[in-house]
Amino acid sequence: MSCGGNLFGPSSQFIKTNGGDLIATEGASTKEKMMLSDLRIPYKQISKGRITLNPGQVNYPLNHLGLGDNATFLSLKVTYNSKSKFEFDNYIQWNYYDDFSKLYPISNLLVLTGNSKNRIKQIYLSNPNTNYPVTIEAMVAVIDDNTSIFTDTINQSGLSFNNVRYTDIKTWKPGETIVIYSNDLNPVPLCFIPVVDLRRSTISKSGKIITINDLSLGSIYLDFIDIDNALQSYSILEWVKTTNIPNASIQDNLGQNGLPGPSPDRIDPIVYFTTNVEVLGGSTYSSPYDTTMATTFSATMSLIGTYSISSNISRNSILSNLISRATDNRDTSVSLGNSILIYDDNNTDISENGITSPGTYSIHFDIMDYAGNSVDANKNIQLNIINY
């Protein structure tokens, strides 16, 4: 048995450059040759740079080294870490900015060319090797001074990830970057989002889909396995976006019982009352009360005087006189807005019109945090309206 063979041919077979041409050699012999020395690729602007992709880093925007969207020449030379010994690990991936569904491999060299009518679209680079970094030398050129950008004809370019769980979102570098992991048995990073960009982004939720309009990556679409995971992730992302904790980490600040986080938020917001509100039937607690202390509370307001305008007690008047604030364990502050509902003794919602006659009314709370937790529907204030 011979142990000196090579599945990919003799070790002396190479494709290399020689005198400006590409040649295929076998030992000392030249087997094939592609002449490149006669090529003339015009340019007016040119830039050269070096990029390092960290282990497992994905979706790095090349941005044509700052030359914008009008490149007509792009060359990437890839150099792998000397410790990365396995040939099948030594590749990177790239894709065009408008199609993240198609990933193309590069081993050693990528050259793309275009002309003034057919330019090279922006590309993203990824390093699938989770153990070692990779270095890329890039040269980008533009044939003219054109500074226009590509038109997004489908109006929806960006990253899309499916079957996401809230536990797939973690802190990569505290206070600086969060990461979205795959939900494989051995998770790998799929997308890195700088915290500074997240804070300038808009985050929206529709059903089990969250959209992050990120400044550097464009729109990021996260399709979760269910609505609960989407709600928990919405809460986590908003927490990262708004927290004032230095070097905030999802794992450290949201983890439970010392285990890696994030943990789910299952705690309802708390409504705090002014001293005008009492606990119906009395309480062992002292005023001012909040919704953790009882189920039913009581208060009295008059149609004449301080609380009423033209014999009408509005929702805003009830809010300002009976409700102090609302807080949440994760979202910290909860906007009150139109957060109460007013029902008369026929159980009719009169929130928009307000109260115009004496009687007993039931005040309920329409307050929900980002994770979908709401104040218990049974919590209420029995409001006695008097006419003197």
Determine the Cα–Cα distance for residues 383 and 290; give it in Å rounded to an integer. Answer: 16
Cα angle value 318/320/325 (rounded, 5°): 110
> For each of the chain's 388 residues, which pLDDT tens digit applies?
233 334 444 457 888 888 888 888 888 888 888 888 888 989 898 889 898 998 988 878 887 777 767 889 999 999 999 998 888 889 999 988 767 667 899 999 999 999 988 889 888 899 988 889 999 999 999 998 875 554 444 334 457 888 899 999 998 888 888 889 887 788 888 888 888 888 888 999 988 899 998 765 668 889 899 999 999 999 999 999 988 888 888 887 555 444 455 778 888 999 999 999 999 988 899 999 999 999 999 999 998 877 767 778 999 999 999 999 998 888 766 778 778 999 999 999 999 999 999 999 999 999 999 899 999 999 999 999 998 7
Q: 């870490």: which residue's tokens?
A: 81
Q: Read off the amino acid at residue 4.
A: G
Interatomic CA distance for residues 159 and 59, integer angstroms: 9
Partners of 247 in beta bridges:
none
Q: How confident is the model at residue 388, as a pLDDT?
A: 75
Rg over alpha carbons for the chain, rounded to the nearest Å, is: 31
The pTM score is 0.57
The angle subtended at Cα 283 by Cα 281 and Cα 286, nearest 5°, is 135
Return the number of other C-beta atoms located less than 10 Å from residue 251's C-beta: 14
Q: What angle do CA 356, 359, 362 make, to 5 degrees?
A: 95
Write the CA distances from 378 to 251, 268, 322, 330, 340, integer angstroms: 34, 13, 18, 23, 13
Amino acid, single-letter form, for residue 123: I
Angle at 81 between CA 78 and CA 82, to 5 degrees: 120
Please report the domains of the chain, with CATH numbers, ordered by start residue: 9-39 (no CATH), 45-142 (2.60.120.810), 158-254 (2.30.29), 270-386 (no CATH)
CA distance 323 to 335: 12
Instruction: Check: CB of residue 24 under 8 Å from CB of residue 33.
Output: yes
Paired with 113 in beta bridges are 73
The CA-atom distances, in angstroms, between 178 and each of 121, 130, 191, 240, 248 are 27, 17, 8, 9, 10
